[in-house]
Amino acid sequence: MHLVSGLLFFSLSMTSLGVHAQTAPGAPASAPQYAGISGVLQPALASVRHAVETARPDKWKISNSLEDETIKNIHSIEHDMDATLPQLLSAADTRPVLLSHVLPATRNVDALYNVLLRVAATAKVAAPNEQTAMLEDAVAQLQEAKRVLEDRVREQAAAEEKRVNDLQVSLKASQDALAKAQADAAAATAKSGKKKSAKSSRRK
């Protein structure tokens, strides 16, 4: 009975300490806090939109097939910015600390950047200087925004890995402490039993 009561008290104490550590005022956050990624991307996306809306590949000195491909790429960029990317950014902004919410948006931006690169490369050899400059500026801005997001993702991944490792260490420490308490209680019970047995033998 004393053994069961002691183990129950120890278990409840460990649980209480765990809850207190999680909720105590001033306790460090388990992961860094981040603002939404829309703020990082919006200036670059505005530049991209202006550049592709200004581009006139039908007036460039390129073959019909390359013109069709460039127009298709521009439409793909516009469709992504109008229909797909806003939903991904909204999801990422809702939980910016969760990689599962942020990564779909960053992957989409990577794909958008690659398509924009193809348009800008074509413009560089065939478009008027003004349109080429706009597209190259849009590429540079989106590249910088991508770099900021990639740095954030790496930082978040490292923070998440550390949080998981810390939890594993804490759990093992709790398990080891509980195992020691159980062993100590069992040893105390065995010792008490031997004393009682010795007393009983002497009485006989």
Higher pLDDT, 52 or 94: 52
Query: What is the reported pLDDT for 21?
Result: 41
The pLDDT of residue 31 is above 50:
no
DSSP, residue by residue, 81-149: IIIIHHHHHHHHHHSTT-HHHHHHHHHHHHHHHHHHHHHHHHHHHHS-HHHHHHHHHHHHHHHHHHHHH
Exposure string of 110-142, with b = 16+ CB inside 10 Å and e = fewer, is eebbebbeebbebbeebbeeebbebbebbbebb
pLDDT tens column, 157-189: 666 666 666 777 777 778 878 888 888 888 778
Give the DSSP H or E segment for 163. helix 129-203
Asked: is 34-161 a CATH 1.20.120.230 domain? The reply is yes
Compute the distance between CA of residue 204 and CA of residue 201 in angstroms, rounded to an integer: 5
The pLDDT of residue 55 is above 80:
yes
Grouping H, G, I as helix, E, B as strand and the rest as coil, residue 159 is helix
Percent of the chain with pLDDT over 70: 73
Higher pLDDT, 64 or 26: 64
The pLDDT of residue 22 is above 50:
no
